[in-house]
A and B are shown apart, each in its own frame.
Chain A
Amino acid sequence: MRRPGWKRRRPRRPAHRPEPENDHKVATYILLIAILSAGALAALLLGRRAAASAVGALASIAAGACGLISGGTALAGATWDLRLPWSVPMGSFHVAADPLSGFFLCVISLLCGLCGLYGWRYLAHHAGRRNLGASWCFYLLLFASMAVVVTARNAVLFLVAWEAMSLSSLLLVMFEHERPEVVRAGWTYLVATHLGTAFLLVMFLLLADGGSLEFDTLAPAEGAGGAVFLLAMVGFGTKAGFLPLHVWLPEAHPAAPSHVSAVMSGVMIKTGIYGLLRTLLLLGPPPAWWGFALLGVGAASGVFGVLLALAQHDLKRLLAYHSVENIGIIALGMGVGLLGVSSGNHLMAALGFTGALLHVLNHAVFKGLLFLAAGSVLHATATGELDRLGGLLKRMPATGGAFLVGSAAISGLPPLNGFVSEFCMYAGALSAIAAGGAAAWGGVVAAGSLALISGLALACFSKAFGIVFLGEPRSESAEAAHDPPLSMRLPVQLLAGLCVALGLCGPLAAAAAAPAVAGIAGGRAAPAVVELLWWVSGAALLLGALVAALALCRRRLLRGRTVGEGPTWDCGYAAPGARMQYTASSYAMPIVKMFRGVLGTTEHLQRPEGLLPRSASVRTHTGDPLLERAYRPAFAAVAWLAARLRWLQRGRNQLYVLYIALAVLALLVFELGGRP
């Protein structure tokens, strides 16, 4: 059967398509890069002064605007192509934007701009004590390198930008480097990302197949497609945080300053998704097993990520694990899409990839929002420990309201944006099930795991929001919390607004993303998708109307009646106090207990004893099972081996000369021995 959407295998020589009209379209992109590099330099020179913060923030906002324009035009179909001379081995500075690049460029610019604004005041109290300039320089470099990554059209350029991205984000994570756990996190991150890149090197070399490393000419050798796909899964999956490779993510994201966590979690890990999509474009028609592989990885990451998130007690760590979950969801969408492509089911393909791309955008929005809000909480209370917070909604209404929106959105509830993308994936899965055949099982996996994930995510975020923002404060610092200044409130509220807007205007977003999807899934089923989403947004609007109407009724009914205030009804208990509230740990306990086998949660329980028990406590801890059960032992094994070998270097000269003698004898005998 003819597969949708795939151009035939590219020719080895760059195709002689007429150069797209560049002039003004490239201009914004060049402006973006120029602003960023100039800003980085300026910030670096300003050093510890507070002005560095202002420069960095302004630069990132301006660049964000440029990026939105440039990406938007490319998404709208005004592609451009730019080649500059660059003399490095095998490399050329060749950037171009097609709708896919444009889409990611938009997402990146949006979030980086807003987080830049947030960071301005967020870092202010470090002025004079830390080198703000360096931090902002790396922030802008991160922005720039991401922009290059999604537009690069030469493998070497791509890899350089890729590594620059990792490096700048690493140095950003290291901002508060006196804390030992930060250094550990940085180390883990560096190791993971660097080892991941090794796979990418091999992947690109296999794709190049001895030829040039320009994307136009990349195409796998016969039969190498599967290998390339697997390498891409590992290489890009490390950055994206696919399941067995996610271990760096929950370490690094909490360690960074919050606006950086937002960028890393919101968009940087998405570059892994971009890389995967780009590779799929280069690879040509996919066999079914790629789809199933992605589905498997996605389901595992999603379920495992949300479970681990549920077991966390630290707000930012919880959010970090949710990034793993959402990456899993995106992978599910891509898997559905790939199955659709391979089984020739256009609707399924379109739904899957639209869902994946929209979720990339949506996750960027609400995860950015959540991390920034968490940053405000940290800023106000100096702790991210759930069980020391509480009652913040009264004290920081703006942040709390935004966080609520974000929580509902990330749990995929209507009428917010999270539901739109998940709905697309569900619908794709459902269409596969309705269509039957082998792909249907993919649909089953997707639907089942999505259902489980969303249920658990709901549990997790009712916990996060409920414990942090509702009830009574559990510590003095929470008691004294207050909303941050405007420049920190604004981005959060803008993002919250975006969550609602994207939820109501799902079809418009889908229509906008359609060109990007068309490259992979073919544009044929796009109208159907948009039409489907109109139903969703219609329902969302209706829901809003209903709520408004009911609220009105309630107001009407209560008018003129006594509305009193009192303590919470605690079933007759005389003196309810803040310490009697349910805590995060107790809230999550039933589910965590249920999955203890996979989570490896440890519990330190001190039972109350005697007639008048003094103190009793229960403390649970859930580390990362893979890190603790798989990676640490592996590293330890290598270290053990190395330790066994150290006697070779005993310090005895005689021994060393013996090595030389043996080497020469062995080689001589091996090469010449016996042969007459």
Chain B
Amino acid sequence: MASEGARASTETVLAPASGVRQFWRRLRVQRAALVAASVVALLVLLALAAPLLSAVEGQDPTTYHPDLVDSARGGVPVGTFGGLSADHWLGVEPQTGRDLFARLVYGARVSLGVALAATVVEVTVGLVMGIAAGYGNRWVDQALSRFTDVVVALPLMVMSLALLAIVPSGFPRPVLVAVVIGLIGWGSIAKIVRAQTLTLKQLDHVAAARLSGWSSWRIARRELLPALAAPVITYAALLFPVNISAEAALSFLGAGVKPPTPSWGQMLTSANVWYQAAPQYLLLPAGLLFVTVLALTVLGDGVRRALDPRAASRLSVGTGRKKEARA
């Protein structure tokens, strides 16, 4: 009957009632997502425990070890596997002889931290702009949407380079990088939020809230924001890995965080000429970056399916499932 139709159509917008419990139930059924989640957890742990871990190893990310590199051969690490040894678990960096393990774990902090911060910036700006555009009147919407178009149309890399050059060098670089990535990348999320808001504000309970005499601000907070959580979190989960790559790319263009602070992107950049002479120097950060982005992406997908009932229903939509059904 009509009500069925109505239910289906509205639930595509609303996250399922009493989200959290459902969310976990839906997430738990996805093995890939769980694996990914644990990997991410591990990486975060790695990052947080960086000082501890390198202390255990007895190294730090900045001390030079000229004796551990072959100066005559361009500073390639002495010994096998890039100078892998008891006190240098993953070998040392060519030219400087700095400890790779220490740099990697410290690098994790920067890379993950920057990406996370950038994502937060994107989400916040995106939410504000999106809701304002979606809930505001035609003119507000016009103006904001146009502005969003402009931002989306700006080439991320170039603007980052410029912005990073403008800000005085005193400003803490990781924060700056995060902010810049964030400020340039919120466009897409704003568009999504706007679209969702437009749908949401058609919903009767929003109208009802207006009839109750609440202010727009309060309505945005109480009626819209919670409903937006699902799509936003979903999208943010997919943005996060992208931002990690963005940090790497910026370093690659010479606009990342500054030495001696290590970041994966930065290590990759200086490493990618050493692919033959000292492969592990390239492969370690590349591998880590790869695993991280992969895990986060898979997790992001998992989160999406767990949050978005349609996606969730997809989990059970059988096309190749005839066989089980026979039984």
The yes or no verdict on A and B being binding partners is no
Could you tell me which A residues sit within 8 Å of B by CB distance? none
